[in-house]
Homo-oligomer: A and B are copies of this chain.
Amino acid sequence: MPVYKAPARDTRFVLNEVLKLEQYAHLPTFANAGPEMVDTIVEECGKFASEVLAPLNQSGDQQGCVRNPDGSVTTPDGFKEAFAKYRESGWGTLASPEEWGGQGLPHVLGFVVEEFVATANHAFGMYPGLTNGAVSAILAKASPELQQKYLPKMVTNEWLGTMNLTEPHCGTDLGLIRTRAVPNADGSYAITGTKIFISAGEHDLTENIIHLVLAKTPGAPESSKGISLFIVPKVMVNDDGSLGARNAVSCGSLEHKMGIHGNATCVMNYDGATGFIVGEENKGLAAMFIMMNAARLGVGIQGLAQAEVAYQNAVKYAQERRQGRALTGPAEPQEKADTLFVHPDVRRMLMDAKAFTEAMRAFYLWGGLLVDLSHKAATEEDRALADDMISLLTPVLKGYGTDKGFDTCVNMQQVFGGHGYIEEWGMSQFVRDARIAQIYEGANGVQAMDLVGRKLALNGGRAVQAFFAEVDAACTAAKADPALASLAAGVEKANGELKAATMWFMANGMTNPNNVGAGAHHYMHIMGIVALGFMWLKMGTAASAALAAGAEDKAFYEAKLTTARYYGERFTPDAGALRRKIETGSNSVMALPVEAFATA
């Protein structure tokens, strides 16, 4: 069975030594977020993830979920008990507001929990996974009555939340949705329609499930400007908080998927179900975007998660499996063969994974910190700066993080040779599970369009200019450190390619927006390469400082510097190739008529 151990040392390093959470102790929610709290979370949540959740990952995949004849759904063996422990331990409530029963810690610490849980068991993590986002949307937009009724039990995970957008004929293009919401006399609405791909739409983990549902009221404008958002509880909630009658919403069937078998992906039927509007009519999309942005960051974390566990298992296999001899002569002549570890091509794949996962961890934790600072920083200017940055980087975290995360899983599976293809070893599951993260919460092509079509131009390009400047400053500073000079040169060059691609879009997008669309995905990847390079500069600088200060854990910091150098050598060159592709524009991309795509 595959193994998983939470990356405690690495997480501590990023939080305490790179991001230095202590420096924010004066800000709301940060007072208790110092090294001691980090230690506690890393140790305890790490233990919970590897001891309770990881052992259910493979069995959950093999067993899957079952829809019973009455429409109820049974989750895989052990999920219910594991969830009860998760709830009792309060892992889902770390960053929720204290006034609603949460622990009032910064989001960046909540993100650590998301990583550990998703890495140990992706399918399990999806049950509570959307609830915090639903809470944020309700907090921001719902009436005080609705907040009072739903938040306390959602915050404590007594009830879980879901997100209902997709319908059979529409996913990305929400303007097309057909689910109707007809006002009732009492101010509620009757919701009728079919939603598909609803993660955790039905299950046996909680007594109630709170669905957040997009629907159209009578006479609403066509297009996405006519969408409203509703709370539709699975079981009606009485005014005293007790549960009432069953609402007219049910799971019609479960999807048969490539992976995440342990999660119930439901077709949800709304048959005049009672719903309560969140905010105003026709303004539902804005509320849903609060939830969606949280979800996208969570998916970026999932991109790291499967890569991390696949990497850990590949490292173990490469140490145990003996096959062939080192090119430089037998490393262990007393054995019949050397381990896979001696082979440079195996080591290349492991180093790629190491360089990606460690930087991706720093990247999402920085993202979590930015979420906190966008709300809690001391000045309006600092809050705006943080908000700019996380808005810009959300599609990169999601899109680049999951693309690279998937590729990393595939490479780690490759380390196993034929055994990687056999389900028993677990590597296939990591690949199959990781694949969904490139697709859901906005397929990565949609993320790329969000980045180039919306985020680049935000406030006159303020965010991306700030990003360029931060990266350049880090490059300039790092060049003085011989251990980081080559990385700094590589990242600076990649940042230059990113700037050039941005300029090219500005010069060529107005005349033909397809020139931007045809380069969007590559652009997102260049920004990912630069962002992770920026993380390596930050981590490398912290490692150099620790070594200079005579840190005890010398090998740890030296490995950081070597991996940083590897990143500069092996990741940054792609930025130039991607820019060259972007600059060929959209002509040959769009030139052919539909008929030309038939091969027969």
Contact residues of A with B, CB < 8 Å?
Answer: 5-10, 46, 166, 169-173, 175-176, 196-197, 222, 255-259, 308, 311-312, 315, 319, 322-324, 327-328, 336-337, 341, 343-351, 354, 357-358, 406, 410, 413-414, 417-418, 420-424, 428, 431-432, 435-436, 438-440, 443-445, 448-449, 512-514, 516-518, 520-521, 555-556, 559, 562-563, 565-566, 569-570, 573-574, 576-578, 580-581, 584, 586, 588-600
List B contacts of A171 (CB < 8 A).
Answer: 323, 417-418
The CA-CA distance from A341 to B322 in the complex, in Å, is: 49
14 chain-A/chain-B pairs, Cβ below 8 angstroms:
A7-B600, A10-B599, A172-B417, A176-B336, A258-B431, A319-B594, A343-B517, A344-B589, A345-B517, A347-B518, A406-B410, A562-B588, A562-B596, A573-B580
Indicate if the CB atoms of B417 and A449 lie closer than 8 Å.
no
In the complex, A577→B173 CA distance in Å?
A: 36
- B358 to A562, Cβ gap below 8 A? no
Q: In whole angstroms, what is the CA distance A357 to B600 when docked?
A: 13
Measured between beta carbons, the chain B residues less than 8 angstroms from A588 are 351, 562-563, 565-566, 569-570
Other-chain residue from B428, B521, B590, B596 in contact with A555 (beta carbon distance below 8 A): B596
**Chain B residues in 8 Å Cβ range of A257:** 421-423, 428
Q: Which residues of B contact A428 (CB under 8 A)?
A: 257-258
- Evaluate contact between B432 and A599: CB separation under 8 angstroms: no
A423 vs B348: C-alpha distance in the bound complex, in angstroms? 33
**Known interface pairs A417-B443, A431-B435; 10 further A-B residue pairs with C-beta atoms within 8 A, sorted by A's residue number:** A176-B336, A255-B422, A311-B599, A315-B597, A327-B514, A348-B589, A351-B589, A418-B439, A563-B592, A573-B577
Cross-chain contact of A576 among B327, B443, B517, B577 (Cβ < 8 A):
B577
Complex CA–CA separation, A233 to B597 (angstroms): 47
Distance between Cα atoms of A435 and B562 in the complex (Å): 32
A581 and B569 contacting across the interface, CB-CB below 8 Å: yes
State the 6 A-B residue pairs at the shortest beta-carbon distance, nearest first: A344-B517, A569-B584, A7-B599, A5-B600, A258-B428, A327-B513
Q: How far is the CB of A385 from chain B (nearest CB, A)?
A: 30
B559 close to A592 (CB less than 8 A): yes
Work out how many copies of this chain go into the complex. 2
Contact with A172, one of B46, B324, B349 (Cβ below 8 angstroms): B324
Residues of B within 8 A of A418 (CB): 166, 171, 196-197, 439-440, 443
A347→B311 CA distance, assembly (Å): 33
Given A421-B439, A444-B414, A354:B597 Cβ within 8 A: yes
Contact of A597 among B350, B438, B597 (CB under 8 A): B350
CB of A117, distance to nearest CB on chain B (Å): 16
Contact of A562 (CB < 8 Å), options: B423, B448, B591: B591
Of A5, A436, A573, A574, most buried by chain B (CB within 10 Å of CB) is A573
Q: For the complex, give the distance between the alpha carbons of A176 and B555 in Å.
A: 35
Q: Which residues from chain B contact A517 at a C-beta distance below 8 Å?
A: 327, 343-345
Q: Which residues of B contact A449 (CB under 8 A)?
A: 345
Q: Is B513 a contact of A341 with CB atoms below 8 Å?
A: no
- Say yes or no: A589-B566 contact (C-beta < 8 A), given A7-B599, A597-B350: yes
- CB-CB nearest in chain B for A586: B344
Please give, as numbers and ranges, the residues of chain B lying within 8 Å of A343 by CB-CB distance. Answer: 445, 517
Return chain B residues, CB-CB under 8 Å to A581.
569-570, 573
Partner of A570, one of B8, B556, B584: B584
B512 and A328 form a contact (CB under 8 A): yes
Q: How far is the CB of A336 from chain B (nearest CB, A)?
A: 6
Across the interface, which residues of B come within 8 angstroms of A328, CB to CB? 512-514
Chain B contacts of A413 at CB under 8 A?
435
Q: Could you tell me if B600 and A8 are in contact, using CB atoms closer than 8 angstroms?
A: yes
Q: Give the contacting residue for A594; candidates B341, B512, B521; CB below 8 A.
A: B341
How many Å from the CB of A419 to the closest CB on chain B? Answer: 8
Docked pose: A354 CA to B596 CA in angstroms: 10
Q: Which residues of B contact A172 (CB under 8 A)?
A: 323-324, 417
Q: B421 to A435, Cβ gap below 8 A? A: yes
Contact A348 B518 (CB under 8 A): yes
A597 / chain B contacts, CB cutoff of 8 Å: 315, 350, 354
A593, B319: Cα distance in complex, Å:
11
Among the interface residues A344, A406, A432, A440, which one has the most CB atoms of the partner chain B within 10 A?
A: A344
Distance of A259 Cα from B259 Cα, bound (Å): 12
